[in-house]
Amino acid sequence: MSKQFPPKSKLPFGARSLSVLIVGLGLTSSACAKSYIPNTDVEDNEDNREVIAFCERYRRAVEKRDAGGMLQLVSPQYYEDGGNPDASDDMDYEQFKSWLTGEGVDEEGIAFRDATAIRHEIRYRRIVRETDRVFVDYTFSASFRVPTGKADAWKRKVDDNRLELVRDESGEFKIVSGM
């Protein structure tokens, strides 16, 4: 009785080696591939999920026009410089609170409470940690309806922004700039 061996491949030896190498490289590169939190450009890990979950609380509070909910997310040390050297559009915590509650207006003369509807979409781009701070880079699309002289008008703004977060004494995130 003769020994039976598996049939030889019809590929020449060099081609078989190349096939094995390509398959091996494919498995190696897929093992090193990063996974991302769905609908973001942010690597999926527990720390980043915690940051995104906090930022989503902020986004939902904006859409609900929930001034109290937004204020719970803001640090008393909040300060926004408006992204320019003009100090007239800077806003600290008290000014932000005033704007949310309807006593103040933004650079376009609109108070937060004037909006009759808000749609706030965020695409999270990057999370950077530095010592005691977390920076969240994102692109937003904000659509909001405000009353005008004759009827409500929809306004829209699309821009890149950065939230700056710190942890308070209880360990919760708070926003110190970027709203």
d(CA 161, CA 179): 8
pLDDT at 21 > cutoff 90? no
Give the pLDDT score at 64.
94
Which two structure tokens, joined as six digits, stand for 75? Answer: 């640090």
pLDDT at 66 > cutoff 60? yes
Residue 31 is assigned to a structural domain of this protein:
no
Buried b (16+ CB within 10 A) or exposed e, 58-80: bbebbeebebeebbebbbeebeb
**Mean pLDDT, to the nearest integer, of 53-60?**
97
Cα angle for residues 65, 158, 113 (degrees, 5° grid) = 20
| CATH number of the domain enclosing 165 | 3.10.450.50
Contact at 8 Å (CB) between 157 and 146? no
Residue 14 is assigned to a structural domain of this protein:
no
Residue 2 is assigned to a structural domain of this protein:
no
**Domain span at residue 66?**
46-177
Give the pLDDT score at 111.
73
What's phi and psi for 14, nearest 5 deg? -60, -40
132-153: pLDDT as tens digits: 999 999 999 999 998 887 888 8
Residue 145 is assigned to a structural domain of this protein:
yes
Residue 36 is assigned to a structural domain of this protein:
no
Query: For residue 17, what pLDDT band results from cuts at 50, 70 and 90?
Result: low
d(CA 158, CA 135): 19
Q: Name which of 100, 112, 103 is nearest 68 in CA terms.
A: 100
Please report, as a single letter, which amino acid is at residue 102. Answer: G
Give the total number of structural domains in the chain: 1
115-to-55, 93, 121, 143 alpha-carbon distances in Å: 21, 21, 16, 10
Buried b (16+ CB within 10 A) or exposed e, 103-120: eeeeeeeebbeebeeeeb
d(CA 40, CA 4): 55
Task: For the chain, give the mean pLDDT.
Answer: 82
98-136: pLDDT as tens digits: 888 876 555 566 677 888 899 999 999 999 999 999 999
Residue 5 is assigned to a structural domain of this protein:
no
Residue 7 is assigned to a structural domain of this protein:
no
Residue 142 is assigned to a structural domain of this protein:
yes
